[in-house]
Amino acid sequence: MTNKERVYASLRHEQPDKTPYHIGFTQQAYATMAEYYGDPDFASKLGNCLVWASAAPQQPWVEVAPGIWEDPFGVQWNRTVDTDIGVVCNTRITDAYVFPDIDILPSDGQIEAVIAANPDSFIVSDLGFSLFERAWTLVGMENLLMAMVAEPAFAHKLLDRILEFNLHVIERACAHDIDAMIFGDDWGMQTGLIMGANRWREFIKPRIAQMYGAVKARGKYVFIHSCGKVDDVFPDLIEVGLDCFNPFQPEVIDVYDAKRCFGNRLSFYGGISTQRTLPYGSVQDVRDEVRRLLDDIGRDGGYIAAPAHAIPGDAKAENIAAMIEVLQNQ
């Protein structure tokens, strides 16, 4: 089977010849492994099954002050500590705020080039921050959460404006021969939903239903990346058309129970511990965990094996290498 065929089989809840996998890295972890292998291009040899064709705005970020980078939405990110993402340090939303022009999205040629270069891979178009995350980066986390309680009309209006923008992005991306779209939207903390299940259902669910429906209507699969303990809304996500949930964090979700309860209706992508096993476990711990995930979660499809997040900088090189070895030698 090709990598694309493996992912398709798994998403259909069929047993592929081996469980598909995808390994992503933070900058620090990538540098660590490039040194460990003595190969700065080691990632091209991993055998990853997914390839990304970004649908996010491509306008270059601008360094407006030392370590402060402004994105295409005008949001400024302090990257003096976290060089991968950063910390939002301004607010943008007023009634006069204008969303970026659709013309700053990737060109048709850019997306087509990715597809043409990777005929045997499963192509995922990444919208980036999609709804809740886009809203709080624009207005501030505290302001958005308070508005959901004290000024719901403001929160609804802001989220509707984001939804309108996103539907344009979806239409453009799904016009190409991609296989899926992934939406980034962290709703969770280690202990549960940030805004609670009731407000998630009021503010988030109706809008993601429209976004997911727009993808499904064009014959593509729907993935979500949402960190934290959000399994309370798995039934809601299945209801609105989600196909695959990521990052499937074993520190906050019982991944084996989730497979038992939802594995015939939802696929999972992630599951390898980045908070415990990769940084603090032994090589044998890593091998045992990955093998059990492949055997139990990967049985009958419905699984893309992966670290629960881009591998952090504190993960041990020998542990990362052990994970890669098990995944490659299924």
Q: How many whole angstroms separate alpha carbon 246 and alpha carbon 224?
A: 6
At residue 95, the pLDDT reads 66
Average pLDDT over residues 111-132: 95
In this prediction, residue 58 carries a pLDDT of 83
β-pair partners for 268? 245, 303
> What pLDDT is attached to residue 13?
97
10-14, 113-117, 127-131: range with lowest mean pLDDT: 127-131
- pLDDT digits over 172-214, tens only? 999 999 999 999 999 999 999 999 999 999 999 999 999 999 9
Q: How far is CA 326 from CA 56, 149, 255, 278, 312, in A?
A: 33, 48, 19, 14, 19
Which amino acid does the sequence have at 217? Answer: A
Work out the percent of the chain whose per-residue pLDDT is above 70. 99
pLDDT at 284: 98
CB atoms within 10 A of CB 181: 27
| Alpha carbons 11 and 19: distance in angstroms, whole number | 11
Structure tokens at 273: 């511990």
Q: What is the pLDDT of residue 107?
A: 79
Q: What percent of the chain has pLDDT over 90?
A: 89
pLDDT at 104: 78
Tell whether the model's pLDDT for residue 96 goes beyond 80. Answer: no
- Supply the pLDDT for residue 247: 95
Indicate the pLDDT class of residue 156, thresholds 50, 70 and 90. very high
Question: What type of residue is 136?
Answer: W
CATH code, 3-59+100-328:
3.20.20.210
Q: Across residues 232-255, what is the average pLDDT?
A: 97
pLDDT band at 160 (very low <50, low <70, confident <90, very high): very high
- SS3 readout for the chain: CCHHHHHHHHHCCCCCCCCCECCCECHHHHHHHHHHHCCCCHHHHCCCCEEECCCCCCCCCEEEECCEEECCCCCEEECCCCCCCCEECCCCCCCCCCCCCHHHCCCHHHHHHHHHHCCCCEEEEEEEECCHHHHHHHHCHHHHHHHHHHCHHHHHHHHHHHHHHHHHHHHHHHCCCCCEEEEECCCECCCCECCCHHHHHHHHHHHHHHHHHHHHHCCCEEEEECCCCCHHHHHHHHHCCCCEEECCCCCCCCHHHHHHHHCCCCEEEEEECCCCHHHHCCHHHHHHHHHHHHHHHCCCCCEEEEECCCECCCCCHHHHHHHHHHHHCC
Residue type, 8: Y
Displacement of CA 46 from its chain's centroid (Å): 19
Burial of 90 (0-12, 13-18, 19+ CB in 10 A): middle
Q: What would the pLDDT profile of 257-276 be if each residue is shown by its tens digit?
A: 999 999 999 999 999 999 99
- Token output for 28: 């620090």
d(CA 244, CA 111): 22
For 285-301, write each residue's pLDDT tens digit.
999 999 999 999 999 99
Greater confidence (134 vs 107) lies with 134
Domain boundaries in the chain? Answer: 3-59+100-328, 60-99
Q: Which range is least confidently modeled, 52-56, 229-233, 245-249?
A: 52-56
Note the Cα 298 to chain centre separation in Å: 19
Using 50, 70 and 90 to split pLDDT, how confident is the model at 118?
very high
Q: Would you say 19 and 305 are in contact if contact means Cβ atoms under 8 Å apart?
A: yes
Contact predicate 178/53, CB 8 Å: yes
pLDDT at 92 over 90: no
pLDDT over 80 at 36, yes or no: yes
How high is the mean pLDDT of the chain? 95
- What pLDDT, on a 0 to 100 scale, did the predictor assign at position 317? 98
pLDDT category, 100, cuts 50, 70, 90?
confident
Rounded to the nearest 5°, which phi and psi values hold at 225? -110, 110
Confidence label for 60 from pLDDT (cuts 50, 70 and 90): confident
Give the model's pLDDT for residue 128: 86
